[in-house]
Amino acid sequence: MTKQTCTPPTVEDIFRYRYQHGTNIGSMFIHGPWLNHDASKNDSGTFKELEEVQRSLRARGLEETRSEWEAHWRTALTDDDLLWLKDTARCNSIRIPIGFFTLGPVFCAGTDFGGEPSEVYVNCWNILKRLIEKCYRHGIGVLIDFQTIPGSIDQNSRSDFGNADFCASERNWAMATDCVAFIVQEVTFHAMSGVIGVQISCETDWNTCDLRKWYDEVLEITSCVNPPLPIYISDGSNFAEALDYAMLKNRLQVPMGRSPIVVDTHMYYTTGTYRQMDPEAIISRVHNTLAELPTRQGMVSSQRTAVDAYIGQYSCAMDTQTWDCVDPSKRPTLVQAFGQAQSRQWASKTCGSAFVGYKLHRMTGDEWSFQRQVSTGAIPPPLWLTVPRAQVLSKIGQAEIHRSPSRETTLSQYSSSPDTQKYHQYRLGWDLGFSDALSFFGALARDVIPGGWDGGEKIGAMELWVRKRIADTEQLNEDYAADWECGFRKGISDFYGLVGISTDSTH
């Protein structure tokens, strides 16, 4: 039997399921202060984190080294940074990469970081937790990106660690699993409401390593510790395969006690065939990206599963060969058009995105800089995040006034037989969809989300939110679940129409 009422979205729900507009903060919790020194630049990054820690330990000892590294972490995001991210860039989330050593000495045992080097990191995790809490007070969510498996590091993070063959070591996989389990336990037992998810990154593909086996093991643990917490998985260089894996794991079932899975993919246009294209050709291609999504979305009840995608890294950069095709004077305008095209595509097709770099290291050129691209208008915030608070409240008031007429118009178009069960389920879905969209939109203006923001929030992870609401309303075994879902999506769409928001991202 379908529940007639449903609990409104919680603060955690809104943090996790809203559209995530954000940036990667950089590698501050993976690389120490040496990354800021002129010497590291002259050496072209040949010094690794461990080598720099060991060098500092030899030269200055543990206490001074630890003090310098901790000062580096504490200034990862200053108060001024957070205010800029919130008020200027309008970011409601950030992505923070971390390594196993970020978690402290216990997780360094048996690795090259074991012993005295590990003691440098004894307070690192607590410093990061305080930063996450500070972000929460500003209304900014954090995606914790566990990026460094012992023996390896994400090369796409533009670091210079050696990339060892960690696939051959079961021990390294087991250690990585323990790290993720610890992170999820910390998020759970310390009630870290600002954490929008935990990402398990692995810069390998589905065939080189048994990626499914590791994902399976990790997801069993996360589902036991904190089933509602979204887990983001890297696409393993095969977006379609990762989507299918996530759909397998996101199946509707009774009970729904499993972590919702989001697929992270990175979008760059600087390599391969893109190098032979001119800028306008690349910009025109952006609209066609993520073509794997439409056939896998929009039908949660009939497919009995759901999946959403997240752009974990992107930039406004193109290859020099590409720029050689045009007059240099046109470059600023083309860069702006490129960034705006990507922003529109991510907002309409995904549950969120994170520009590649806020604090830049080893990346040259304005087109990798989030601050620069925000200032030029290349990376604008979604329009709904820019609506003044008073207007948000006014729009909500008008939507409430027009709610009943809008519903009746929609219902009359849906069916001429109001006594049928199909009609009843559609109406229930519509009512909940409208209410949910209103709750998200008003969360900032009503101070449900802290920080005193302008703007409204929009449901971003639409497919996974539909999945969750199907479970919440006990629609799993209903014969008319498809009618309920259709009404639910229409209720959301009608609300957005009343408040003047594009409905593209409601699929």
pLDDT category of residue 19 using cuts at 50, 70 and 90: very high
Query: Tell me, what's the pLDDT at 329?
Result: 96
Residue 211 or 71, more confident: 71
* Spatial distance between the Cα atoms of 94 and 6, rounded to a whole number of angstroms: 30
For residues 208 and 157, the model is more confident at 208
**What pLDDT is recorded for position 160?**
33
Q: Are the C-beta atoms of residues 492 and 459 closer than 8 Å to each other? A: yes
Tell me, what DSSP letter sits at residue 279?
Answer: H
Contact present, 376 and 332 (Cβ < 8 Å) = yes
pLDDT average, residue stretch 99-113: 94
Report pLDDT for 507: 38
> Residue 396 pLDDT more than 60?
yes
Locus of tokens 């690349």: 282
Residue 430 pLDDT:
97
d(CA 133, CA 280): 42
Please give the full DSSP string across 411-478, using - where no structure is assigned: HHHH-S-TTSHHHHHHHHHHHHHHHHHHHHHHTTTTTSSSS---S---B--HHHHHHHHHHHTT-TT-
What pLDDT does 37 receive?
61
Give me the phi and psi of 261, to 5 degrees please.
-105, 130
CA dist 303 and 301 (Å) reads: 6
Q: Are 495 and 436 in contact (CB under 8 A)?
A: no
Q: Which amino acid is at 131?
A: L
Q: At what angle do helices 403-414 and 389-401 cross, to 10 degrees?
A: 50
Please tell me the predicted confidence (pLDDT) of residue 248: 96
- What are 213-259's pLDDT values in tens digits? 889 999 999 999 999 999 999 998 899 999 999 999 999 975 678 99
CA 304, CA 306: separation in Å to the nearest integer?
Answer: 7
Q: Is the pLDDT of residue 55 over 70?
A: yes
Exposed, middle or buried: residue 494 (CB in 10 Å: 0-12, 13-18, 19+)?
buried
The better pLDDT of the pair 460, 360 is held by 460
Say if CB 368 and CB 357 are below 8 A apart. Answer: yes
Residue 399, classified by CB atoms within 10 Å of its CB into exposed (0-12), middle (13-18) or buried (19+), is buried
Least confident among 42-46, 178-182, 346-350, 374-378: 42-46
Cα–Cα nearest to 232, from 292, 154, 173, 309: 309
User: Which is more confident, 344 or 5?
Assistant: 344
pLDDT value of position 157: 38
Q: Which residues contact 244 (CB under 8 A, 6 or more apart)?
A: 296
Give CA–CA dist 342/334, Å, rounded.
12
Q: Is 58 exposed, middle or buried (0-12, 13-18, 19+ CB in 10 A)?
A: exposed
**Residue 42 pLDDT greater than 60, yes or no:** no
Give the E-state strand segments of 201-270 in sequence order.
Answer: 231-234, 261-269
Give the pLDDT confidence of 288-306 residue by residue, as tens digits. Answer: 999 999 999 999 999 999 9
Q: Does position 163 have pLDDT exceeding 70, yes or no? A: no
| Tokens standing for residue 413 | 């178009």
CA separation for the pair 264, 217 (Å, rounded): 19
pLDDT value of residue 48: 78
C-alpha 51/C-alpha 107 separation (Å) is 18
d(CA 262, CA 461): 9
Domains of the chain and any CATH numbers: 11-381 (3.20.20.80), 389-499 (no CATH)
State the burial class of residue 484 (Cβ atoms within 10 Å of its Cβ: 0-12, 13-18, 19+): buried
How far apart, in whole angstroms, are the C-alpha atoms of residue 29 and residue 6?
A: 40
122 within 8 A of 60, measured Cβ to Cβ: no
